[in-house]
Structure 1
Amino acid sequence: MALAVVKPVVEETAPQQKKAMVAINSVTMSFGTFVAVEDVNLTVADGEFLAIVGPTGCGKSTILNAIAGLLKPTSGSVSIDDNRVSGIQNDIGYLFQQDALLPWKTAIENVELGLLIRGVSALKRRERSMAWLAKVGLKGFEQRYPHQLSGGQRKRVQMAQALISGPKVILMDEPFSALDIHTRHLMQNELLRLWQEERRAVVMITHDLEEAIALGDRVAVLAAGPRSRVINSFPVDLERPRDVAEIKLDPRFMDLYRNIWASLRGEVEKSYERRD
Structure 2
Amino acid sequence: MSESISSIPNTRGTGLGPGASSEPARPPILEARRLVKRYRMGRRSLEVLRGVNLVIREGAFLAIRGASGAGKSTLLHLLGGLDVPDEGEILFQGRPLAGLSETALSRFRNRHVGFVFQAYHLLPELDALENVCLPARMARMDPREAERRGRELLARVGLGARMEHKPAELSGGEQQRVAIARALINEPALVLADEPTGNLDSQTGEEILRLLLEIRAERGLTLVMATHDDRVAAHAPAVVELVDGVIRGQVPVQPTGPDLSGVGC
The TM-score with structure 1 as length reference comes to: 0.77
Matched, 1:217 2:237: yes
Name the residue aligned to 2:47.
35
**Post-superposition offset of 1:246:** 2.4
Report the residue type matching 1:29 in the other structure.
Answer: K
Name the residue aligned to 1:257.
none
**Post-superposition offset of 1:148:** 1.1
CA contact (8 A) 2:122 2:131 kept: yes
CA contact (8 A) 1:146 1:154 kept: yes
Name the residue aligned to 2:247.
230
Distance between the aligned counterparts of 1:247 and 1:136, measured in 2?
17
Among candidates 8, 25, 38, match of residue 33 of structure 2: 25
Among candidates 96, 103, 106, match of residue 127 of structure 2: 106
Among candidates 50, 55, 59, match of residue 47 of structure 1: 59
Name the residue aligned to 1:67.
79
Name the residue aligned to 2:259.
246
Q: SS of the residue aligned with 1:194?
A: helix
CA contact (8 A) 2:216 2:222 kept: no
Matched, 1:163 2:184: yes
Name the residue aligned to 2:8.
none
Matched, 1:57 2:77: no
Distance between the aligned counterparts of 2:242 and 2:185, measured in 1?
31
CA contact (8 A) 1:217 1:236 kept: no
**Post-superposition offset of 1:46:** 0.2
- Residue-by-residue CA offset, 1:41-92 (whole Å, 9 max, x unaligned): 0011100011001122111111111011122111110111112124342310
Distance between the aligned counterparts of 2:238 and 2:36, measured in 1?
22
Distance between the aligned counterparts of 1:235 and 1:178, measured in 2?
25
Distance between the aligned counterparts of 1:192 and 1:141, measured in 2?
22
Distance between the aligned counterparts of 1:93 and 1:247, measured in 2?
22
**Which structure has the highest helix share of the two?**
1
- Residue-by-residue CA offset, 1:213-272 (whole Å, 9 max, x unaligned): 12x12000112x2xx21112137799xxxxx61259xxxxxxxxxxxxxxxxxxxxxxxx
CA contact (8 A) 1:27 1:75 kept: yes
Report the CA distance shift for 1:15/1:38 in structure 2 as closer, same or farther (over 3 A): farther
Q: SS of the residue aligned with 1:46?
A: coil
Computing the radius of gyration over CA atoms, which structure comes out larger, 1 or 2? 1
**Post-superposition offset of 1:15:** 4.7
Name the residue aligned to 1:152.
173
Name the residue aligned to 1:76.
88
Q: SS of the residue aligned with 1:246?
A: coil
- Residue-by-residue CA offset, 1:127-151 (whole Å, 9 max, x unaligned): 1111111111111211111111111
